[in-house]
A and B are shown apart, each in its own frame.
Chain A
């Protein structure tokens, strides 16, 4: 693996007396496609929250491109190239679909966006995701599926070096899943590292070069998809004893 773009070491997070993450170590190559899986409530979203800064981990450190970002607020991480989508869509409801993308373009990606290119860049992302015919509609009126697409579009508009997609494909049709996979693969081919959280096994297996499995806040497996399927711990976590 080349120099890692992301290095998570010993990250723990507690909510009151409940341990949601317990000493997670994770490394990600600069151009890697990682699948993050695990049963419901295993801590996947919590880990993403710690990486993006939406939550601050209690212990451990997060290093991005060699810089310790553990204490940085989310907006500074976004400016450095960490983007994420939200599992439960959080559109800017008072804005149109296009305006939703203007926000990351004008803030997170400001240093990576040419002057006067904001609208054309936003339209480009919308075309990629297939939301271009909704560009001027209110984002509050979108269907659940379109809101998920908007989540991913807004993350892409931040022009990330590391994209984390948190169940972006839930509820999508099989054809739409293939479309999104193609988009993420193309993005990865342009050098963006991707962490994909997904319950749709066909999608993660087809996409990820490596899988990490969480169970009850702990990392129980880390390896190629082939290894992971054959791992007895993983089977136990998913199927129970």
Chain B
């Protein structure tokens, strides 16, 4: 794991960020900050997950909200049914959404380009309809979740969930980074660049694409699992939120899709801006701002922030 200097720096930064998060819970009690940072962390996992299929493999998924929502509802249903502790709920959501990714991949990956994107959108609509009619978890009315008043080690359940989410986010980033530079990552990049040439170079494209959709689905499920417990209420409208899907696409596109760090940077920049706008102006403006930034980047800097930095560094070298 610590083979190169870059590896050492990466893991040192992860450890520092995690310890920083723990320190924050000691120093700051105001719950507003946790809510804001939690939203950014959640968006980061979603962006990192979307990028594994969208950025590394080149297949655009419009249905991210469905994976997120099924992750959330899996946790809610299992909590209600068996009362499992949180780590099991998260693992179960990962498994369910990973299988969902595999299934969706199997059914739709033969479709290319825009047809694949439309199929994922259609899947999200079908699943939303299903959950809207699922009585056990409150159907369209939604469901309230009781969370513990007191938790060990932390001041509140909110703080505990914040730390859990931080760990999950860092884990997702580590997985994405490892994948990006691995043999499988190179196979995925080959698929994105030219699928026929990839096959003829020996890349089992169908299998790799299914790995990609499965990992993406599992990660999105993980992002969704703690959400109902954080906000203590979930209904189909908030879980299948268009904004979740839009962010999952916009953040990697703005950060840069080819490199693992792109979606992280995009999530921090856009997520941070959104929180600032919510406080200073209104959350209504968020969608507009993301939309405008997305258009700007796609037309002016399709390689995203990472691409801009790389270009700038190349120019400085000369």
A interface, CB within 8 angstroms of B:
52-54, 73-76, 78-79, 83-84, 86, 90-95, 99, 102-104, 106-110, 154, 158
Contact of B193 among A79, A93, A109 (CB under 8 A): A93
**Contact A83–B186 (Cβ < 8 Å):** no
Contact of B192 among A73, A94, A102, A154 (CB under 8 A): A94
**Contact B202–A79 (Cβ < 8 Å):** yes
**Contact A52–B200 (Cβ < 8 Å):** yes
Cβ of A111 to closest chain B Cβ, rounded Å: 10
Cβ of B298 to closest chain A Cβ, rounded Å: 17
Say yes or no: A94-B183 contact (C-beta < 8 A), given A73-B199, A83-B200, A107-B202: no
- List, in ascending order, chain A residues with CB within 8 A of B198's CB: 92, 103
- List, in ascending order, chain A residues with CB within 8 A of B186's CB: 95, 99, 102-103, 106
Say yes or no: A108-B201 contact (C-beta < 8 A), given A94-B258, A102-B186: yes
Cβ of A142 to closest chain B Cβ, rounded Å: 14
**Contact A75–B203 (Cβ < 8 Å):** yes
Which of chain A's residues has its CB closest to B58's CB? A94
Cβ of B16 to closest chain A Cβ, rounded Å: 31
B interface, CB within 8 angstroms of A:
183, 186-187, 189-190, 192-194, 196-206, 258
Sample of 9 more A-B contacts, CB < 8 Å, known A90-B196, A103-B198, A103-B201: A54-B200, A73-B204, A75-B200, A91-B193, A91-B197, A104-B202, A106-B186, A107-B204, A154-B201
- List, in ascending order, chain A residues with CB within 8 A of B201's CB: 75, 78, 103-104, 107-108, 154, 158
Main secondary structure of the interface of B (DSSP, over half): helix
**What are some 28 contacts across the A-B interface (CB < 8 A)?**
A53-B199, A53-B200, A73-B199, A74-B200, A75-B200, A75-B201, A78-B200, A78-B202, A79-B202, A84-B200, A86-B200, A91-B193, A92-B189, A92-B190, A92-B194, A92-B198, A94-B189, A94-B258, A95-B186, A103-B187, A103-B202, A104-B202, A107-B187, A107-B201, A107-B203, A108-B201, A109-B202, A158-B201
Which of chain A's residues has its CB closest to B201's CB? A104
**Contact B202–A92 (Cβ < 8 Å):** no
**Contact A75–B193 (Cβ < 8 Å):** no
**A103–B189 Cα gap in the complex (Å)?**
10
- List, in ascending order, chain A residues with CB within 8 A of B204's CB: 73, 75-76, 107
Cβ of B74 to closest chain A Cβ, rounded Å: 34
**A54–B195 Cα gap in the complex (Å)?**
10
**A53–B197 Cα gap in the complex (Å)?**
11
- List, in ascending order, chain A residues with CB within 8 A of B197's CB: 86, 90-92, 154
**Contact B202–A108 (Cβ < 8 Å):** yes
- List, in ascending order, chain B residues with CB within 8 A of A106's CB: 183, 186-187
**A94–B258 Cα gap in the complex (Å)?**
8
Cβ of A186 to closest chain B Cβ, rounded Å: 22
**Contact B193–A95 (Cβ < 8 Å):** yes
Which of chain B's residues has its CB closest to A74's CB? B199
